[in-house]
Structures are given as structure tokens and as C-alpha cells.
Amino acid sequence: MEDGGRSTPWRFAAPNPTLAAAGERSIQKALLQVHACLDERGPRPVIPLSHGDPSSSPSFRTAPEAEEALVAAVRSGEYNGYPTPATGLPARRAVAEYLSRDLPYMISHDDIFLTCGGSQAIETVMSVFGQAGVNILLPMPGYPKHEAHAVFHKMEVRHYDFLPERGWEVDLEAVEALADGNTVAIVITNPNNPCGSVYTYEHLAKIADIASKLGILVIADEVYGHLVYGTTPFVPMGVFGETVPVITLGAISKRWAVPGWRLGWIATCDPKGILRKTKVVDSLRSFVSIISGPATFIQGAIPHIIKNTNDEFYDNIVKLLKETAEICYDAIKEIKCITCPHKPEGSFFMMVKLDVSQFSDICDDVDFCSKLAKEESVILLPGKSLGMENWLRITFASEPPTLKQGLERVKSFCRRHQSQANLC
């Protein structure tokens, strides 16, 4: 008999539908599907141009000062226990001072909540605001984890669009039309993943004005902060904290190229104290108290990482990203079936439009990426996983020769399939 002779059904058999819905919004799921198409017997190495982790590339190795700070923290023997307020205080102070450099006011350690990477910062904020009956405005395309955690907490997600022809600016009129009395926040990602855009001071000011008019707060995902190499400087959303309360999400993962170190933060940029009056800060503190934060030794190291990292390291990373962005943009211009509406100016990514009408044997972006992986051992992210069908996200944070080789394979793949007569 099945189940060892049991006749009573198991009561835990039904899966959690909310978790299943959230799991559908996953870059990892899309990449697993593409990776499954790789020919493991292929003679050429795999070139991943699909994920935001450049740490395996020698040119993107983190600053020696950061490594030394981490090693010193471990060897000190002072950070082997559970985190305590005493161990976390210097870290929170260091992050507050780091962020305050770019703000017209000072934030304090009381405005900082440390998290286990940027992902936990997203989880925390969505948990604080997430409840049935409210809605949140998210970008399309956007980073899927924002939506996954919003859906998991039963929030209604309303997508606002970008204007690709205007440097992927936010469609401000659409934002006003989407919001209603149940809207709690708008998420802004700047510098942008996946579009590579960087918003001007003027554009961010307009976003702040609209959010203030609507009575909603701004959640600013600035994990790629300062990684800009175009004509537009990075302006943190917290600059407009006098206009609208801002919750900033950040991490050391991208600027220092150490996503595996798992140190992120939430900063309340709110000089008028609105988030305290409305008990949002209390809710953040309550949630942080029931989760596990970053490892103690990384908390011990972060003050020294921030203080001692040489400006030359930052400058070299930005210079390298500018070079690889140019390589990628120029290569895409030579591929007829792919177009980039705006040259990236920040982050590691660009979004490109795929013209499937030029192929006779490729149905859509997922089919394109699957066959590219199988035939050329190059991994790109299908735009469908970001809400943009027949678009592709390309990551260019890799060694320049490797990037050139990967893009040359993409070019060869496109030429070959444009000449085929097979029906899809």
C-alpha cells in the first residue's frame, strides 16, 4: 500500500501558493533554464554575460585594504560570537558617515539597519510594508526580488514604465495615474539594474515631488551607487529627504565587488522624522530583531573597509566599467538583430531589444538564449524574466578580452540563424 498503509492524507501536502508565485519571479530560475541548455561536451569555455557578480574576474578583485580589514577582524578573535549592540554600533556609525558624505544633512547610526546583503534589505522593507490591501509601484523592467517579496507579502504590484528613448527615465505621468489611496511606496533603482541608466538631479527631484504629492515614500535601491561612468553624476535619493521620506537600500557587494561578503544596509533618510512619527522605524527595528543579520566579523571589518579603501581602487573600477560598457555598446551596434536604445552610464548592465522577426527559427528571447547557450556557450539573461519579452540583459562586468570573445560569439550566432530557413 502507498504511504506505508496510511489511509489518512498528509495535512501538509498542499504547497504554499504565495511562495510558489513569489518563486516565479526569479532570475536564478531563468538562468537555470538557460544553463540546462549548455553542451557540457563543448570545446569552448562558458562565457557568462548574465549575472551581476564580477568577483571571479581578476580585474574586479576587491581592494587589498578590504581584504586586510576582513582578515584582521577574523584574526582578532573579537568577532567569533553572536553580534551584539556593541559590535554593531561602529559598523552602523561607519555606514551613516559614508552615506552622509553625499547628503545635505547628517544621518546617524540610529538611521542605519544592517542586513545580510542587499537582498535581505529588500526582504526587510517589503516585510514591513507588506500586507493585503496595499499596493506598491515597481519599475518595469526591474530587479525581480522586489516583486517577489512584495508578492509573498500579498501586496498588489503595479508596474510603471520607463522611457527608453529618454535614457530610461521614469514615465512620471504613468506613476501618477497608477497610484491610489492604497499605494504605500515607489521603488526607484539608481544607478539602474537592468537598464544601466543614471538619473539626473532634476529627474530625481520630480520623482520626489510626485511621491510627496501622493503621500507615499520612496524606496531607493542604490546598491550600484557611485558606479557611474557617463556624463550624469550619481545623486542619492536621500538628497530629497526634506521633500519626501526616503528609505535607502545599499550594500558593499557591487562597489567593492564582494557579493559573497553579505553586508547590506537600510538607511532612513528622513530629516523631518516622518518615518518615526508613523512608526515605520519601529517596524523596521522589530523585523530586524527577529532575523539574523550579517556575520559578526564583516560588521567588525566594515569601518576599516570604508575608511581605508584607496580612491585609486574606486577610480580603476569605474574606468574598467567604462571600457567594458564601450566594448559592449560598440559590439551591439554591429549586430543587426539587436539594438540598444541608450548607452549605459552606470551599474554593470544594458538592456537590448531583440528583433525576432529577423530569425526564421527563433521564437522569442528565451528561445534565443537557450540556443545561444547550446551552440556558443554564452549565457545571456532573457528579458522575459524581468518582465520584458524579446529583450535581453547583458552583463559587461568581466575581463575585456573575455567580453569581446563572448560578444563575437553572439554576433556569429545571429548571423548563422538569420540565414537559416527552418521554421520555429
How do residues 166-180 score in pLDDT, each as one tens digit? 999 999 999 999 999
Give the per-residue pLDDT at 16: 80
Residue with cell 541548455: 37
Q: Which residues pair with 338 in a beta bridge?
A: 354
Taking residues 13-19, report their average pLDDT: 75
Q: What is the dihedral of CA 266, 269, 272, 274, to 10 degrees?
A: -40
Say what the pLDDT of residue 4 is: 61
pLDDT at 7: 77
Give the pairing of strands 169-170 and 156-163.
antiparallel
- What the block records as the C-alpha cell of 48 is 557568462
Please answer whether residues 47 and 379 qualify as being in contact, where contact means their C-beta atoms are separated by less than 8 angstroms.
Answer: yes
pLDDT of residue 235 exceeding 50, the answer is yes
Query: Of the given ranges (2-16, 50-64, 180-194), which has the lowest mean pLDDT?
Result: 2-16
Q: Does the structure show a pLDDT above 50 at 423?
A: no
Is 382 in a helix, a strand, or coil? strand
Sign of the CA dihedral running 284, 209, 193, 393: positive
Taking residues 213-242, what's their average pLDDT? Answer: 98
Q: What percent of the chain has pLDDT over 90?
A: 85
Q: Beta-strand (E) ranges in 144-255? A: 156-163, 169-170, 183-189, 217-221, 246-251
pLDDT-derived band at 17 (thresholds 50, 70, 90) equals: confident
Q: What is the pLDDT of residue 158?
A: 97
Facing residues of 219 across strands? 187, 247
In 39-162, where does DSSP find H-type helix?
64-76, 85-100, 117-129, 144-152
- Is residue 142 predicted with pLDDT exceeding 80? yes
Whole-number Å distance between alpha carbons of 351 and 342? 9
For the stretch 332-343, pLDDT in tens is 999 999 999 999
CB 305 within 8 A of CB 384: no
Instruction: State whether the Cα torsion 70-305-225-236 is positive or negative.
Output: positive
Q: What is the mean pLDDT of residues 81-93?
A: 93
Taking the C-alpha atoms of residue 100 and residue 107, their distance in angstroms, rounded to an integer, is 6
pTM, rounded to two decimals: 0.94
Question: What pLDDT, on the 0 to 100 scale, is given for residue 199?
Answer: 98
Q: Which amino acid appears at position 144 of this protein? A: P
**Terminal-to-terminal C-alpha distance of the chain:** 46
